[in-house]
Structure 1
Amino acid sequence: MSRSIRPDAVLVQAVIAGALSFAHLHDLAQAAGQTGWKAWAYPVSVDLLLVAAWRRLRTDGPSRLAWCWFLIALVASLGANIATAGFLDLDHPPALLRLGVAGWPALAFLGGTLLAHTPTPRPANDERDLPPDAPAPATVTHAPEPVTEPEPIPAAEPVPALPEAPAAPAAPAVQAPPALVAHARRLADDHQARTGSPIDLDTLRARLNIPPAMADAIAAQLT
C-alpha cells in the first residue's frame, strides 16, 4: 500500500512546486514590462528548457551541453522565486532585470535548438558500431579422389598454306600539265635568283598548292 502512495505524493509535490515556480516567473516577467500572453510565455519557455535539458541528460548520459542549459534554466527559475520573495522591488524593477527578461527568449531559443539538433558523440570503442562476430566456417574433410592419368592429346593436323594474295597493281604515274610545269620552272628560277639555292620540294608544293605526288612529278621534270 505504501509503494502505491509514494508516487502519488511525489507527483502532487512536483505539481505544487511547478505551479509556484510558474507563477513566480509570470509575476517577474509582468513586473519587467511583459504583459498579456507574453508574461505567461516566459515560464513556459523556462520550464520547457529545463525539461529538455534533463531529458537529454537521462537519454544520452552526461553532456556538457545538457548540463550547461540545465543550469541556465535552473538559475532562471530559482532567480524568479527569490526575486518575488521580497528581495526586489517589483513595482520599480532594476534595468538589469528588464534586460535579462528581454533577452531571455533568444537565449531559450538557442538552448532549445542546440539540445534538439546537436548529435550525441559516441565513444570510439562503442560496441553498437561493431558488427557481430561471424561464426567460424565449419571444416569439412573430404576423402582424396583417385588420380586419373590424362588421355593423350591427338596430334594436330597440318593447316594448309593460304594462297598468296595477288600483288596490287602499280599506281599510275602522275602526269603534270605542261602549263603547271612551266609555272613551276619560273618559280624555281625566281627562288634560285633570290636565294642562290635551288628550290626544295616542300617550298615548291606550298607555292603551287598541289598534292605531294604532283609535286614529285613536277620536281622530276625540273631537274
Structure 2
Amino acid sequence: MARPALRIDAVLVQAVIAGALSFAHLHDLAAAAGQTGWKAWAYPVSVDLLLVAAWRRLRADGPSRLAWCWFLIALVASLGANIATAGLLDLDDVPAWLSILVAAWPALAFMGGTLLAHTPADPAPTPPALSDPTPDIPPDDTQPEPVTAAEPEPAPDPPAAPATEQTSAPPTAAPVPAALVEHARKVADDHHARTGRRIDPDTLRARLGVPPHLADAIAAQLTRPEGSHT
C-alpha cells in the first residue's frame, strides 16, 4: 500500500514563518535592552507561551476577563517588539523605561501563567427555579356542595291522531310488459330446476337487472297461473 504524499499546509507554513520572525524580533529587543546570552533567547519563549496559554484558556473555558487580559498583554508585547525593531527605535540607544519593562517581564509572565493555570473558570449562572404559579389551596370543608341541575320532566305524549274510517288504497302495481314476464318465467323455471326452490324477488331482480318495484311486480305476475296475466 502506497504511503500518502506529504501535504504542506499553507496556514502551518505561514504560522512557522510568523513565529520565527516574531521570535527574532523579541530576541533582538531583549538583547538591545541589556538581556544578553541565553536570557535574550528566553524572552520570546516566555511571550509566546503566555499567548498560547491565554488562547487555550479562551478555547477551553470560554471568554473571560482573565484570559482576555493576559492574551492582550502577550499580544502587545509581541507586536511591540515587531514594531520597535522595524526602525522606529534605535536599538543602540534603548530608553530606560523600555529596559525596565523588559527586565520586569519574567515576573509579569510568571504571574499571568499561574493565574491562567490555577484560577477556576467562572461558573455559569444557574437560572432560578420556576415557582408553581398556582399555590396549593387546602381543602375547605365549609364550601357548599355543587348543585346539580334538576332533570327535566318528560314532555307529555302528543294526542293520537283520530283514526280515519277510510284506509289508504294499496299502491297500484307498475305495468309489466308481457315479454319481460315471459323471460322472467323462464329464469324462474331454470332456477327451480337447478335449486328445487322458487326464485325469490331479490334473486329475480339480480338476474333481470330491473328496479326493486318492477321485480316485485314481475314476482306477483309469476305467482299467477300462466295465461292469466294481463
TM-score under structure 1 normalisation?
0.53
In structure 2, the CA distance between the partners of 1:5 and 1:71, relative to structure 1 (3 Å rule), is farther
Say whether residues 1:36 and 2:37 are aligned partners: yes
| Residue identity in the other structure for 1:63 | S
Cα 1:5–1:83 shift into 2, 3 Å: farther
What letter matches 2:31 in structure 1? Q
| CA displacement at 1:125 relative to structure 2 | 1.9
Residue 115 of structure 1 is matched in structure 2 by: 116
TM-score by length of 2: 0.52
2:94 and 2:121 map into 1 onto residues whose CA distance is 41
Query: Which is richer in helix?
Result: 1
Q: Which has the larger radius of gyration?
A: 2
Aligned to 1:21: 22
Q: CA deviation at 1:84?
A: 0.3
AA partner of residue 51 (structure 2): L
Which residue number corresponds to residue 58 of structure 1?
A: 59
| Long gaps (5+) in structure 2 | 128-230
DSSP-derived class of the 2:15 partner:
helix
Assess, with a 3 A threshold, how the Cα gap between structure 1 residues 51 and 92 changes in structure 2: closer, same or farther. same
Identical positions, percent: 83
Q: Distance in 1 between matches of 2:67 and 2:6?
A: 32
Query: Distance in 2 between the 1:33 and 1:108 partners?
Result: 18
Unaligned runs of 5+ in 1: 127-223
* d(CA) in 2 for partners of 1:70, 1:5: 34
Whole-angstrom distance in 2 between the partners of 1:47 and 1:109 = 13
Give the secondary structure class of the aligned counterpart of 1:91: coil
Corresponding residue for 1:77? 78
Deviation by residue 1:20-65 (Cα, 9 ceiling, x = unmatched)? 0000000000000001110000000000000000000000001000
Q: How many residues align?
A: 123
Residue 7 of structure 1: how far off its partner (Å)? 7.3
Deviations 1:76-106, CA, capped at 9 Å, x for gaps: 0000000000000000101011011010000
Matched residue SS, 1:125: coil
2: CA distance, partners of 1:6 / 1:63: 36
What displacement does 1:111 show?
0.2
Match of 1:96 in 2: 97
Instruction: Evaluate the alpha carbon distance shift between residue 6 and residue 60 of structure 1 in structure 2; reply closer, same or farther with a 3 A threshold.
Output: farther
